[in-house]
Structure 1
Amino acid sequence: MKVTANGIGIEVEDTDADGSQAGRPVVLLIMGLGMQLIAWPPAFVQALQDAGFRVVRFDNRDIGLSQHFDHLGVPNLLWESFKFKVGLPVRAPYGVQDMADDTLGVLDALGIETAHVVGVSMGGMIAQRVALAAPARVASLTSIMSSSGARGLPGPSGPVLRAMLSRPQGQGEQAIVDHYIRLFQVIGSPAYPLEEAALRERVLMATRRSFHPAGTMRQMAAVAADARRAGELSRIRARTLVLHGKADPLVPIACGEDTARRIAGSRFHGIDGMGHDLPPGVVERLLERLVPHLAGQGA
């Protein structure tokens, strides 16, 4: 369903859409760069429901079925990346804070006062911004395969960077799907490989739902421009769990460790063999830590 959040149209999926989960604590899931709400594995969502939670997920701005911002143009990522490396301000059409405001707008539109906020990758950065902007509305924070954004942290490996900056070798649907399969295979979890047929099915479904690479580029610029967040994380007071793959080639584990160090009282867990994706084996390992955290155990 489409809601108006922070003045724009945001596509939302709510397990309480039929009113059957009223009164349950809410888990708000925030997806990563260029990814749609359907990237949350059904087994992950179902496990949270089985644990007694109402689950809300949504398409971030500029992606999926949420409002696109093509009128803002496409940033020159090579130039902005150079500026980021040398410490110059990065220009972005909008910021991570804007996406955090969208997230809070989703809660407003659904009449939700507080939620357990869970974000992966860029979604973890948005979740951190939500916890900073509206601490009273965050029952707990979980940052998965994400980063503080601090300068000096390691970045993607060479093969990953080349795969991210490459383009589909053609214009048709098949070329687009093949391109993203190559990317996901490069960043995937070595201990939990997803069969190509299953991966192809997921990519094809996402591509047919929405294919909007310009939105991904604007989101990427927003992440690069969010230079001050690391220095602000010490203000977060929400119960925080940081989960990260030990084999993540896109956002190395040092980024998750740095996030945890900056948030007082947070707990950190590295997961063996996990890369930068959510295959079934990784989902199981994440839930082992996440569900007790959401329930307030081990606080």
Structure 2
Amino acid sequence: MTPKHIPECLINTNGINVNFDSFGNEDAPVIILIMGLATQMIFWETKFCELLASKGFRVIRFDNRDVGKSTWCDDLNVPSHLALLANILLKRTLKAPYSLNDMAKDTLGLMDGLQIDQAHVVGASMGGMIAQALAIRSPERVKSLTSIMSTTGNRQLPKPKITFLSNLFKRPPKQADQFVAFGLSLWKALHGNTYGFQKEKVSELLRLSVHRGLNPKSNVRQLAAILSSKDRTEALKAVKIPSLILHGDSDPLIPVACGHATAQAIPHSKIKVYSGMGHTLPDELLPEIANDILELIGGTS
């Protein structure tokens, strides 16, 4: 039986509107999915949400601030590419328009607005960083933590090649066909060569992203939020929440060493490394990833 789907709607929280939808019964235990840099909630694919919800959970996905149908922060400054590079290469202070902690507060606000006391929190890439920040600042609200292809924020950890990182600085084209071509190139590079790249599916998601609302400045503002955040390693050592770290050994953006560092920082956390996985969630691995998350959740009280 297909889980119940509650269509997209807005909720006002933390001074912004957050757009979300959900799968499963509204009185079931909650799993909240937090997406990554400048990426809309639809990249948590429906079949993945339904797979989790079919096991007796209410699965909520949402657009982060500045993305999709949630509030765009166009009244805030956009850091220059020079400022971003100076931060990366020279460790110069970067003034970000908002922080990962602000985005964690957005998630808490969504929970408050929906009267959710606790949730199992799953974050991918930047979403994993937000999930970590949430577990650090409000551990009583997080039932379990799953951090996927993410990092602690330790600047000493391995980094992507600067040529690859520079792609994240590029402002996406506004014209739909050009945006899809741009997005396909980036997603294919992130995906790697081990698993089949689903060109038609990704193209459809990118076109839907244009239709839902494409904010070309969000990638720079959100990248600034990542770069300006402090190293979470010491704070993560105090996290007592059941935690799972998932990472691919072929991740070109956030190397797998960052996943191991996250697991080492969080006491008693578990880590699983998927052979050949890059910085996406391949179709072939979705059932296994869902089962690994569900296994963690099943072990919580």
TM score, norm. by length of structure 1: 0.93
In structure 2, how many angstroms separate the alpha carbons of the residues matched to 1:284 and 1:163? 30
Give 1:166 deviation, angstroms: 3.7
Give 1:152 deviation, angstroms: 1.1
Give 1:159 deviation, angstroms: 4.8
- 2:233 equivalent to 1:225: no
Select the residue among 199, 203, 207 that pairs with 1:204. Answer: 207
In structure 2, how many angstroms separate the alpha carbons of the residues matched to 1:105 and 1:118? 16
Identical-pair percentage: 38
Q: 1:71 to 1:22 in 2, by over 3 A?
A: closer
The more displaced of 61-70 and 208-217 is: 208-217
Corresponding residue number in structure 1 for 2:20: 12
Supply the AA of the counterpart residue of 1:265: H
- 2:75 equivalent to 1:74: no
Give 1:163 deviation, angstroms: 2.9
In structure 1, how many angstroms separate the alpha carbons of the residues matched to 2:183 and 2:60? 26
8 A Cα contact 1:120 1:146, kept in partner: yes
In structure 2, how many angstroms separate the alpha carbons of the residues matched to 1:5 and 1:96? 16
Aligned counterparts, 1:51-62, within 5 A:
51-62=55-66
Q: Please provide the CA RMSD for this pair.
A: 1.7
Partner secondary structure for residue 248 of structure 1: coil
The more displaced of 84-93 and 123-132 is: 84-93
In structure 2, how many angstroms separate the alpha carbons of the residues matched to 1:221 and 1:141? 24
Aligned counterparts, 1:125-136, within 5 A:
125-136=129-140
- Structure 1, residues 7-62: CA drift from partner, whole Å, max 9, x if none? 2111011225xxxx143110011000001111101111011111111011111111
Q: 1:197 to 1:190 in 2, by over 3 A?
A: same
- Structure 1, residues 211-244: CA drift from partner, whole Å, max 9, x if none? 1120121010000000232331111111000000
In structure 2, how many angstroms separate the alpha carbons of the residues matched to 1:36 and 1:289? 23
Supply the AA of the counterpart residue of 1:277: T
Corresponding residue number in structure 2 for 1:154: 158
In structure 2, how many angstroms separate the alpha carbons of the residues matched to 1:288 and 1:155? 29
Give 1:206 deviation, angstroms: 1.3
In structure 1, how many angstroms separate the alpha carbons of the residues matched to 2:49 and 2:219? 24
In structure 1, how many angstroms separate the alpha carbons of the residues matched to 2:16 and 2:211? 23
Aligned counterparts, 1:22-101, within 5 A:
22-101=26-105
In structure 2, how many angstroms separate the alpha carbons of the residues matched to 1:105 and 1:73? 24
Corresponding residue number in structure 2 for 1:137: 141
Partner secondary structure for residue 75 of structure 2: helix
Q: 1:83 to 1:22 in 2, by over 3 A?
A: closer
Aligned counterparts, 1:235-254, within 5 A:
235-254=238-257
In structure 2, how many angstroms separate the alpha carbons of the residues matched to 1:162 and 1:7? 32
Supply the AA of the counterpart residue of 2:271: F
Partner secondary structure for residue 140 of structure 2: helix
Unaligned residue ranges in structure 1 (runs of 5+): none
Q: 1:84 to 1:7 in 2, by over 3 A?
A: same
In structure 1, how many angstroms separate the alpha carbons of the residues matched to 2:222 and 2:180? 21
Give 1:174 deviation, angstroms: 0.9
8 A Cα contact 2:19 2:63, kept in partner: yes
Q: 1:171 to 1:14 in 2, by over 3 A?
A: closer
In structure 1, how many angstroms separate the alpha carbons of the residues matched to 2:228 and 2:82? 14
In structure 1, how many angstroms separate the alpha carbons of the residues matched to 2:129 and 2:46? 23
Corresponding residue number in structure 1 for 2:6: none
- 2:219 equivalent to 1:216: yes
TM score, norm. by length of structure 2: 0.93
Give 1:79 deviation, angstroms: 1.8
In structure 2, how many angstroms separate the alpha carbons of the residues matched to 1:34 and 1:22? 28
